[in-house]
Structure 1
Amino acid sequence: MHPAAENSPLGKASEYIDTYTPSLLFPIPRAAKWAELGLSAETLPYRGMDFWNCFELSWLLPSGKPVVAIGEFAIPADSPNIIESKSFKLYLNSLNQTMFGDRAELLALLEKDLSAAAGKPVGVRLRSLAEATAEGVTSAPGICIDELDVAISNYAAPAPELLRCDSARVIEESLHSHLLKSNCPVTGQPDWGTLVVQYRGAALDHASLLAYLVSFRQHADFHEQCVERIFLDLQRLLEPEHLTVYARYVRRGGLDINPYRSSGAITPDNCRLVRQ
């Protein structure tokens, strides 16, 4: 378990607070998990973003009438902190009986509080239900590897030794799997996701990638660190010209978390998948 997470509200009974309380936000430094991967803030081999989508966002108009919306929060991958997910939900719940003059006032407040917690500017977008409906649901790009006939017996810990590639062939492709699962390092509850790999480099053996992803099945770690580990393992194996790895996780508690990591500058679309 991340040492800071022991003091977070995750896995503990919490009082429901429905008026604005920014102190509910609980930052967790990324540095300890970066160190586990041999990284530091100065040596990150990727760029990226963590997209959080909130489906339980509500506040009051000056008339007292409630409003609902869907919130999108973009946290830079190199921010000093992640925000512990339950504390994020508790903070958003504290807006439920709080009055705002208009949407711009709420937007500015969310940007200020979340940026302070993350340690870097956080982008915020508020969408009406009509806007979210119009955007719809999309599909993961590229080839789905889930139907490959693969014998699997390793579920306990990430096993990069399973990965194989053909270094004599350089290709460009997109792959995805809906079989990514890991466990919350605090509560032990399952986290389900769709993993996407886009690269140009040595030809990756698809069956080996599937076996490797399933090896995370009983691994305990946060969403962000799982994606970073996968990125690093593939980067070491493929030595790619370009590599992007991202996961679209199934929501829990009204929030989904979607970490994107790439070897180059990217402008990812925060497109919802069917399980989200």
Structure 2
Amino acid sequence: MATPEQSPLGKTSSYIDEYDASLLFPISRLEKRLELGIDGQLPFQGVDIWNAYELSWLNSKGKPVVALAEFFIPVGSPNLVESKSFKLYLNSFNQTKFDSLQAVQNRLEADLTAAAGSDVHVTVVYLHQAGSSADIGAFDAVCIDELDVDIEHYSTQPNMLKASADQIVSEKLVSHLLKSNCLVTGQPDWGSVIIEYTGAKIDHEALLKYLISFRQHNEFHEQCVERIFTDLMGHCHCETLTVYARYTRRGGLDINPFRTNVDGAQPENVRLVRQ
């Protein structure tokens, strides 16, 4: 399997505008999971939701079509897809003729399933029909960003996490201060993260300091969310835990990893104000 350093990230790229599935660059999830101590059965279930806002192709008469697309990549897939390669791949539809929207959706599903190594679900909708699906939403949770804390660390500090075993609670907490950097280029990735759990009460100040400590951390979006999940389980011993991050878009794509140990839990693809 190719490494992130071999991807198109950080390199000059030609923008091909005729369909080319070979532009997709899969990266194995395994190495980073082994780094987190995940070997074998995953401690979570979930999905990576990608939203595309710059999807276009030509109809059979050569007239441009514009659309929005949602991509649901299962957490159990062997590979994630590197984001720049995803953008280059979508750009390759720009001057390609397709007979119908369904034909585009089928092609996207087939190519992304092949790259991820598991079934990827895709929904494509004409822009003029998107309607309320593009409305701005918000996380229904307690925001911890106004806590008055002193920050000393900007690289991940999981040992700061702590919980009070004599208080068992169910909480939904959100922070909009999550920032990490691309694993290869170091470019900033901005996100909001909601943490929903049942168990020993997590110290809110410690949690905020921990999330801010990702500020100079270099990892892909999916890897950051899995790190947050495993760190919270390891240091706070949650009975149930869900971690859902919504990252701002880059190049017309946003990435939204969802990880949970709650059977049957499904994320709502809610578009936040920065998205």
- The answer to whether the superposition gives a TM-score over 0.5 is yes
Aligned mates of 1:131, 1:5 — CA distance in 2: 37
1:85: which partner in 2? 83
What's the C-alpha RMSD, in Å, of the aligned pairs?
1.2
Whether contact under 8 Å (2:161, 2:236) holds in the other structure is: no
Deviation string for 1:2-42 (max 9, x for gaps)?
970111111100111001000000000111111111112x2
C-alpha separation in 2, matches of 1:218 and 1:101: 46
Name the aligned partner's letter for residue 265 of structure 2: I
State the SS of the aligned residue for 2:183: coil
Aligned residues between the structures: 273
Matched, 1:198 2:196: yes
Distance in structure 2 (CA, Å) of the matches to 1:177 and 1:196: 7
In structure 1, what is the equivalent of residue 65 of structure 2? 67
**Does residue 170 of the first structure (1) align with residue 168 of the second (2)?**
yes
Alpha-carbon distance between aligned partners in 2 of 1:168 and 1:29, rounded to the nearest angstrom: 40
Q: Secondary structure at the match of 1:89?
A: helix
Is the aligned partner of 1:141 residue 2:140?
Answer: yes
Q: How does 1:191-230 map to 2 (within 5 A)?
A: 191-230=189-228
Residue 113 of structure 1 pairs with residue 111 of structure 2 = yes
C-alpha displacement at 1:239, in angstroms? 2.1
Between the aligned partners of 2:27 and 2:162, the Cα distance in structure 1 is 34
Which stretches of structure 1, 4 residues or longer, exceed 4 Å deviation after superposition? none
- Distance across 2 between alignment mates of 1:220 and 1:195: 17
Aligned to 1:98: 96
Distance 2:125 2:189 in 1: 25
Q: Separation in 2 of the partners of 1:128 and 1:206?
A: 42
| Aligned position for 2:229 | 231
Q: What is the rounded CA distance, in whole Å, between the counterparts of 1:149 and 1:239 in structure 2?
A: 26
Corresponding residue SS for 2:258 = strand
TM-fit CA distance, 1:240: 2.2
Is contact 2:50-2:256 (8 Å) kept? yes
SS class of match (2:3)? helix
Which of the numbers 252, 255, 259 marks the counterpart of 1:261? Answer: 259
**Alpha-carbon displacement from aligned partner over 1:117-142 (angstroms, at most 9, x marks no partner):** 00000010112334444130101221
Aligned match of 1:24: 23
Q: 2:8, 2:254 → 1: CA distance?
A: 18
Deviations 1:26-78 (A, max 9, x none): 000111111111112x2210000000111110011111111111111000111
Q: TM-score, normalised by structure 2?
A: 0.97
Letter in 1 for 2:273: V
Q: Which moved more, 1:69-78 or 1:233-242?
A: 233-242
Report SS of the residue matched to 1:219.
coil
Q: What residue number does 2:47 align with?
A: 49
Runs of 5+ consecutive residues of structure 2 not aligned to the other structure: none
Q: Distance in 2 between matches of 1:110 and 1:7?
A: 23
1:234 match: secondary structure: helix
Structure 1 pair 38–68 and aligned structure 2 pair: CA distance change class (3 A)? same
Separation in structure 1 between the aligned mates of residue 127 and residue 267 of structure 2, nearest angstrom: 22
The percentage of aligned residue pairs carrying the same residue is 56
Moved more, 214-223 or 124-133: 124-133
Question: 2-side partners of 1:130 and 1:102: how far apart?
Answer: 16
Tell me how far apart the structure 2 counterparts of residues 129 and 108 of structure 1 sit (CA, whole Å): 18
| Distance of 1:220 and 1:201 partners within structure 2 | 30
Q: Is the 8 A contact 2:2 2:26 kept in 1?
A: no
In 2, Cα distance between equivalents of 1:187 and 1:238: 32
